[in-house]
Structure 1
Amino acid sequence: MSGHSSAAGAIRVLLVDDHAVMRAGFRMILEAAGGITVVGEASTGREAVEAAARVRPDVICMDVQMPDLDGIEATRRLSADPDTDAAIVIVTTFDRDDYLFTALDAGASGFLLKNAGPEELVSAVRVAAAGDALLAPAVTRRVIERFASTPASPRDTASQVVEPVPPTPALTDREAEVLRLVALAQSNAEIAAALFIGEATVKTHVSNVLQKLGARDRVAAVVYAHRHGLV
């Protein structure tokens, strides 16, 4: 996935939550951070789908439990729409596995708990806008445990996140090292610092790794790394 930030430079965000106070708080945090503009708000999943078509956001912060259409179904519809290129970050008070896996399967780029600090919210939006999947390390562990403990089968909807994976893709040493750091939930910036290379180079390596693994996104690559003992 290519970066989502708009030509003007500011990341365009759509806030979706049925609580106006929560939206107001998020708007204040994001706009104070600089380089981020909140271009719209919605209080139901249905409004979110309509607003996304209207305001063309780069990132959508999506609540789960809402009237009219929940956040998971709204995510599924937006992800299926070829005209919508927004990265969707699920923001929820519920730290529950079924939401997590259903959201990832619906096409969400990331998952953030509402009790996360302001800097985590800002970081989540920036990471999603850059085209990176975003999972908190604790969430990543749960994803890995879930996928590692269940052999992938066509009936397991979550399995499409990790299949198909060739048994021994020909990764270069540097690509393998990048994959290992991705699996440790490191961002592109952190990987660049650790390996003394540019962030653009990291992005190239990550995209090569995903292509060679046949992986849909970073989550799938993380699962592959853990399944094959690279971490």
Structure 2
Amino acid sequence: MTEKIFTKAQNEIFNELYQIDVNQNVEQKNKLNYLSWAWAWAEVSKRSNSVSYVVERDPQTNLPYYYDPNTGYMVFTKVTIDGFTHEMWLPVMDGSNKAMKAESYTYQVKKYEKYKWTGEYEDKKVEAATMFDINKAIMRCLVKNLAMFGIGLYIFAGEDMPEDVTMFEPAPERNKKTFIKTIEEIAANNNVSLDKAIEMLTETAKVTADDSKWTRGDLGLLKRGTTWLKDQLEAQKKEKSESE
């Protein structure tokens, strides 16, 4: 399998698409969330220089699905945005998320009465797949494929709203240098080393002291702690002075 390496441009596309609030375009069925494929495609198209998709066809039949008598139908798509491609696949399933086949079949489930299991089992039927079922699976597969680029990905993770993924990006060197200079001044004014000051702040913030690993989120958290650090060091300096 070829390893996929994301470029800066691809990460920027992902960050932009991931932060789109899709909640108003989600439909819930059987406790599962389904995002409108038409809306998702439109949103991606508006934000990309180029976007295209392909529905994979079985080379033996030239049909837009693969079929195995034992496991059922499977559909595949490929989406390319600004030259970068992701693949996705999805089985054709019924309303209970059971694999659909060319012929109907039954399976057993526990039988309940008044929310209590009776100790018995009953048969449930899975209808044979139709082209309507296959078409729905293809479009849902397309939505999952688009989610690999960011849009609506958070609903597949069971989250209510997208997080700000830019907070996980590495902190810019310029911002880190400015911040460290501020901490250096606070440390010098209170007669402690820079390393000691950073250690105090990072331990309290639960952030690594290794500035090469700081993210934007880490740096933002540390910046909010500079006033606390200054107060702590000034209090320690005063206490030491009074004890001498």
TM-score in terms of structure 1 length: 0.23
Q: Larger relative contact order (C-alpha < 8 A, sep ≥ 6)?
A: 2
* Structure with larger Rg: 2
Q: Which structure shows the bigger proportion of residues in strand conformation?
A: 2
TM-score w.r.t. the length of structure 2 is 0.22
